[in-house]
């Protein structure tokens, strides 16, 4: 199984990489699991610039073709996402909108973070978007309340609560990916 972990924040002062690093440390070493980390700050997709609808698959830009291949290769997705102003980030929405069929029939899990809600409102806001793309959100989630879990060293410090949530999330994503794998048809 190939798991695509998308780091959704692009701000220079972001804590997304620290949250992603913590989450990746929770992923068990398994020869049947390959993890691909897609940091949207590094990928730097421009705002959607394809001349045709994503459902056509008629991409013309190299950055879209590379993103398409990366997402299409994944069996499941985990979004590591902050909450900004009760919503999700524009770069994440942009990355989702670039593609269509590449997202279909893939489970998606959420590792959210923020100050007051731990990113739960962003997850609630993006759920209809991923459903519209044909993805299947899993019920388990990791919610990182930064006031509680982010240390002064800029790293996530967990007493085991978050790790248990990550284990549930990964279990659900893997089970659903195994069930959906026969249904997933790679994008053209």
The percent of residues above 70 in pLDDT, for the chain, comes to 96
Q: Is the pLDDT of residue 9 over 60?
A: yes
Does the structure show a pLDDT above 80 at 1? yes
CB neighbourhood size of 183 (10 A)? 9
* Residue 57: per-residue pLDDT: 86
**pLDDT tens per residue across span 32-62:** 899 999 999 999 999 999 999 999 889 999 9
- Compute CA distances 92 → 37, 45, 167, 168, 185, whole Å: 14, 10, 24, 24, 23
Give me the pLDDT at residue 183, please: 66
pLDDT bin (cut points 50, 70, 90) of residue 185 is: low
Residues 84-125: tens digit of each pLDDT: 999 999 999 999 999 999 999 999 999 999 998 999 999 999
pLDDT at 53: 92
């Amino acid at each position: 199984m190939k798991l695509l972990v998308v780091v959704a924040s692009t701000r220079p002062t972001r804590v997304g990489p620290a949250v992603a690093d913590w989450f990746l440390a929770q992923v068990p070493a398994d020869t049947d699991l390959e993890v691909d980390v897609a940091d949207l700050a590094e990928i730097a997709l421009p705002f959607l610039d394809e001349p045709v609808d994503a459902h056509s698959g008629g991409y013309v830009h190299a950055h879209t073709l590379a993103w398409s291949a990366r997402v299409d290769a994944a069996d499941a997705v985990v979004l590591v996402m902050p909450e900004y102003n009760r919503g999700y980030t524009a770069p994440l929405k942009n990355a989702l909108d670039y593609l269509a069929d590449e997202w279909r029939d893939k489970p998606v899990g959420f590792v959210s973070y923020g100050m007051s809600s731990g990113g739960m409102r962003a997850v609630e806001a993006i759920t209809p978007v991923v459903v519209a793309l044909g993805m299947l959100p899993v019920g388990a989630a990791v919610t990182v309340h930064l006031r509680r879990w982010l240390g002064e060293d800029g790293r996530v410090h967990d007493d085991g609560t978050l790790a248990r949530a990550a284990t549930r999330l990964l279990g659900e994503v893997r089970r659903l990916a195994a069930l959906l794998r026969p249904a997933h048809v790679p994008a053209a």
